[in-house]
Amino acid sequence: MKTVVERFLEYVKFDTQSDENSQTFPSTERQIAFAKVLKAEIAQMGIEVELDENGYVTGTLEGNIDNNVPVIGFIAHMDTTPEVSGKDVNPKIIKNFDGKDIILNEEKDIVLRISDYPHLKNYIGKDLIVTDGSTVLGADDKAGIAEIMTAIEYLKNHQEIKHGKVKFAFTADEEIGRGVDKFDIKKFGAKYAYTFDGGEFGSLEFENFNAASAQVVIKGKNIHPGLAKGIMKNAIRIGSEFISLLPQDQKPEVTSEYEGFFHMYQEIGSVEKVIQKYIIRDHNKIKFESKKEFFKSCVEFMNKKYGKGTVELLLKDSYYNMREIIEKNFEIIEIAKKSMIEAGVEPVIKSIRGGTDGARLSFMGLPTPNIFTGGHNFHSIYEYIPTFAMKKAVEVILNIVKEFAKTKKE
């Protein structure tokens, strides 16, 4: 059997960035290449596996007990963020971390500093996996895949552990909000599931942001600047003015916990045309709806000022707060808490300042909270993960399976 760390170090070598500008599903062929590797590995374990036309890898570990117990599922995603390179990942293991700043790249003076990331102090004496300062690490979410794969293989090879049917799936395009667009929960066949997707050691999450995406297209009018008076309409300046209308105290860099935000993450264009891309987030559904209405009112204001059609808006909801669903199925949280405690992990119940496939799956009819993988600083060259956290996540999965083996279907 491979260890969870060995698996993880193999998996991060695969470039699986998704691409929000792609019209295909999955959005990139490199995700399919990784999916084929996972399928082959699962088949080699002697476990039923399918790779479908949408790039979903789905495995089934048959139960070894006669009890009428619920089918439980585990889910992680294959893609890494489009925002930072995931190509040629070169992980390094820092043995017995001494609590000092970690030099990731001496030549470029890229340093993982304690002053910037004080949570590093929690892992003194532990082994850490870090980047070389040029790419993401890919713990979001290849750590989740490695943890699930390791737990499933352990169950396959240890028939003395009694369990019901266990389903597991690896999705594509989670990072661009399309992860479960084509996921068939009826075919998957689980009553409950858990995503293992991000989250620092001990985190257990069953509430997340309500989320929307917004694309703002600003149409200008270009002409030689020497002849511009009364004619030119500079889309760049109009775009800057539009941003200034948004509340300055509702940006990601100044908000925390349950505070929502408006975030422009991309802008391209010229005097003639500018395209801005935003995400809108809030845990509270009423505040979320209010934010969207405010955003629309800003567009209306700019069109009144600069002329009809100057600013066009495409606004789309992405996912909603899964708490609404999970609270009606709270036994899955109690089982997760018990499983973590039995593994020596103190549950830290917190809200996600983001979302997972589990948020959408919950509203599709498959209640799916999220459990830690153990990593930090996702979507960043400063990403890292303590190896002990991955090992504990594997224990948690095994304990969840054991706990569900004690329950009965309704």
Polymer length in residues for the chain: 410
Beta bridge partners of 102: 112
DSSP 122: G
In 131-272, DSSP assigns E strands to: 166-171, 192-196, 203-205, 210-219, 261-269
Catalytic residue list contains 395: no
SS3 letters for 346-396? CCEECCECCCCHHHHHHHHCCCCCEECCCCECCCCCCCEEEHHHHHHHHHH
User: Which residue among 15, 79, 153, 395 is the active-site one?
Assistant: 79
Distances (CA, A) of 208 to 336, 358, 377: 17, 10, 18
Q: 198: part of which helix (H) or strand (E)? A: none
**Distance between CA atoms of 194 and 76, rounded to whole angstroms?**
9
Q: Which of 106, 113, 97 is nearest to 132 (CA)?
A: 106
189: left (phi > 0), else alpha (psi -120 to 50), else beta? left
Q: 208: part of which helix (H) or strand (E)? A: none
Neighbour tally for 84: CB within 10 Å: 17
Q: Which residue has the tokens 């889309």?
A: 235
What angle in degrees, to the nearest 10, is found between the helix axes of 387-404 and 4-11?
110
Catalytic residue list contains 174: yes
**Distance between CA atoms of 180 and 307, rounded to whole angstroms?**
39
User: Which residue among 41, 141, 153, 174 is the active-site one?
Assistant: 174
Distances (CA, A) of 376 to 80, 102, 123, 332, 363: 14, 14, 12, 25, 27
Catalytic residue list = 79, 174
